[in-house]
């Protein structure tokens, strides 16, 4: 193919495995590595060349992509495991993992100090998007780095948005997912309240989906079975977007808000609720399954207090 590149790929898990396979399928030479031998073997069967170490991945690569669980893995590879040290000067490092904004900026700095160029480019679209090549990328870094990465990312996704300088991609990702986490809880609470008020799921859906309550959490990932046949609620909350990943992203958003001195009150409460759900019944379930635990939450005492004239009733 025209524009064939040698791409190093570290982290061949749920997301990285299908992404590396798609790059190989698009005609790039892909050299991959993962700590789990079975994942490496699956990637090899899809056309990826196996490397014995992360450093081996970087040697000879034009672009190095990482798709790892957290910031400490990215920084560990960049700094201690020799990923940066093994690359040719000026190699472009694209980290697609979802990590802390501060860690992303530290990764940019480490890359720059080693004579490399970097882009943070987290994704949305999940495993289905990784397999189908329909991910959305949100990128942070220089214009030139984004322009160089774009043709590679085009094999993996339908859209790449350049959000700004180092860390801006991660910032966009956690802000978006904070909207999603809060709105899923709002939609779920509305269905639970509607149930208690004798409202059918379908009636509430028909109104809210055509009114100002309309949002993705309602119309695509509806947390109750019935109104949206394709939503995870119709298959006992099989993910989809797993609750532990939502808990992780909301935790990153809460950390970033604290560091930036911003009171994201609903975002922080959503982080707490998702952390509890993900550690309990939501461990292997879609994030919309939180509706099942919200139904059982005890009513706080203040909610039962009588409404008096002093409360104010301006609205
Ligand atoms: P995963 O755990 O399936 O994959 C991560 C892989 O990295 C694992 O296979 C692990 O063995 C490998 N790894 C870790 N340290 C390594 C090292 N030092 N050297 C080589 N390999 C190493 O995770 P995932 O679901 O693929 O998610 C990856 C990233 O994408 C995460 O940051 C996640 O938040 C983000 N993300 C995931 C989804 C999703 O739906 N799964 C959606 C959007 C974003």
| From 173, 250, 275, 288, the catalytic residue | 173
At 22-78, the pLDDT tens digits run 999 999 999 999 999 999 999 999 999 999 999 999 999 999 999 999 999 999 999
At 27-37, the pLDDT tens digits run 999 999 999 99
Give the DSSP H or E segment for 165.
Answer: none
Nearest atom in ligand 1 to 245's CA: 34
In this structure, the residue with its CA closest to atom 30 of ligand 1 is: 97
Q: What confidence tier does 306 reach under pLDDT thresholds 50, 70, 90?
A: low
Is residue 78 within 8 A of residue 120, CB to CB? The reply is no
Rounded-to-integer distance, Cα 263 and Cα 185, Å? 18
E-assigned strand segments in the chain: 6-10, 29-33, 49-50, 63-66, 92-95, 117-120, 123-124, 135-141, 157-164
Is residue 124 within 8 A of residue 169, CB to CB? The reply is no
Is residue 79 within 8 A of residue 70, CB to CB? The reply is no
| Catalytic annotation present for 158 | no
Nearest atom in ligand 1 to 248's CA: 34
Half-sphere exposure of 82 (CA within 13 A, CB side): 7
In this structure, the residue with its CA closest to atom 25 of ligand 1 is: 14
Residue 4 has pLDDT above 60, yes or no: yes
Residues in the ligand 1 pocket, defined by CB under 6 Å: 10-16, 33-36, 39, 54, 67-69, 73, 77, 81, 97-98, 123-124, 126-127, 241, 245, 248
Burial of 113 (0-12, 13-18, 19+ CB in 10 A): exposed
């Amino acid at each position: 193919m025209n524009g064939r590149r040698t791409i190093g790929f570290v982290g061949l898990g749920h997301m990285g495995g299908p992404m590396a396979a798609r790059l190989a399928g698009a005609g790039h030479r892909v050299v991959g590595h993962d700590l789990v031998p079975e994942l490496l073997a699956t990637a090899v069967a899809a056309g990826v060349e196996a490397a014995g170490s992360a450093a081996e991945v970087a040697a000879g690569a034009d672009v190095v992509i990482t798709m790892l669980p957290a910031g400490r893995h990215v920084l560990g590879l960049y700094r201690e495991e020799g990923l940066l040290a093994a690359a040719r000067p000026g190699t472009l490092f694209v980290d697609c993992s979802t990590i802390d904004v501060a860690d992303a900026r530290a990764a940019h700095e480490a890359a720059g100090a080693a004579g490399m160029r970097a882009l943070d480019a987290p994704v949305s679209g999940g495993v289905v998007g990784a397999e189908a090549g329909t991910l959305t990328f949100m990128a942070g870094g220089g214009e030139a780095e984004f322009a160089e990465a774009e043709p590679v990312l085009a094999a993996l996704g339908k859209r790449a948005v350049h959000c700004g300088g180092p860390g801006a991609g991660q910032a966009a990702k956690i802000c978006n997912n904070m909207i999603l986490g809060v709105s899923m809880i709002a939609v779920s609470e509305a269905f639970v309240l509607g149930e208690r008020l004798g409202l059918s799921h379908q009636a509430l859906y028909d109104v809210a989906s055509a009114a100002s309550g309309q949002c993705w959490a309602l119309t695509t990932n509806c947390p109750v079975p019935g109104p949206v046949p394709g939503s995870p609620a119709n298959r006992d909350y099989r993910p989809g977007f797993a609750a532990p990943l939502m808990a992780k992203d909301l935790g990153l958003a809460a950390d970033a808000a604290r560091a930036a001195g911003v009171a994201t009150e609903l975002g922080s409460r959503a982080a707490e609720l998702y952390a509890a759900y993900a550690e309990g019944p939501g461990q292997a379930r879609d994030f919309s399954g939180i509706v099942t635990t919200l139904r059982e939450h005890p009513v706080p005492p203040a909610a039962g207090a009588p409404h008096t004239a002093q409360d104010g009733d301006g609205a």
